[in-house]
Amino acid sequence: MVMFKNIVRCFAVLMLMFSAATNAYSASKTVLVVGDSLSAEYGISRGAGWVALLDQRLKDQKLPATVVNASVSGETTSGGRTRLPALLSKHKPNIVIIELGANDGLRGLPVAAAESNLRAMVDDSRKAGAQVLLVGMRMPPNYGRDYADKFFAMYGILSKDVKVPLAPFMLDGVAQKPELLQPDRLHPLAAAHPIILGNIWPHLQPILKTK
């Protein structure tokens, strides 16, 4: 009898663990991506970008989530900051992925201004009840080593300061390979986008598991 009770208890514990793991994904979530051309499928076929691949991965894994891609080619952190309140009001996301800063860097805009805009976007997202994933960017060295280093470091500093997860460099494994880039040497080819998703997914997945 004692052994039977122990077996029942063990079974109950296992069922609770399974239920907890299942419920972590059970509630449907809306994932809002606010980015620039790197997320807006610039120069590639529709459906080939990392955001579309993310949407497909969620479907393949039967994870209840809706992905809204609000990325705009040429977007800066200032533009994203301006657009975000309306996007939050319209889509009411559970998760906001902020992929911005590349155009600020390419225009040589002050790092402090980009940091201020990104910080405001994190704050606005949280006030709307969303969790945030920040996606980092690294400038090509020909834009000035000092500026490029400060720009890249800004993401890590901000991430720690506001306590949000960071995908450090979305083009890791891509920017270093010309064969994965379009002729402008800035935008990735379609073949690079699975790599980009691979850089972002490990940092996004834990957020998807939270209730």
Catalytic annotation, residues = 37, 184, 187
Question: 171 with 188: CB under 8 angstroms?
Answer: yes
Contacts of 195 (CB under 8 A, 6+ apart): 173, 174, 180
- Burial zone of 148 (CB within 10 Å; 0-12 exposed, 13-18 middle, 19+ buried): middle
The DSSP code sequence of 137-203 is ----GGG-HHHHHHHHHHHHHHHHHHT--EES-TTTTTTT-GGGB-TTSSSBPGGGHHHHHHHHHHH
Radius of gyration of the chain, Cα coordinates, nearest whole angstrom: 20
- Burial zone of 6 (CB within 10 Å; 0-12 exposed, 13-18 middle, 19+ buried): exposed
**Cα angle for residues 60, 64, 66 (degrees, 5° grid):** 95
Alpha carbon separation from 51 to 84, 108, 114, 184 (Å, rounded): 18, 27, 23, 21
DSSP type of residue 44: S
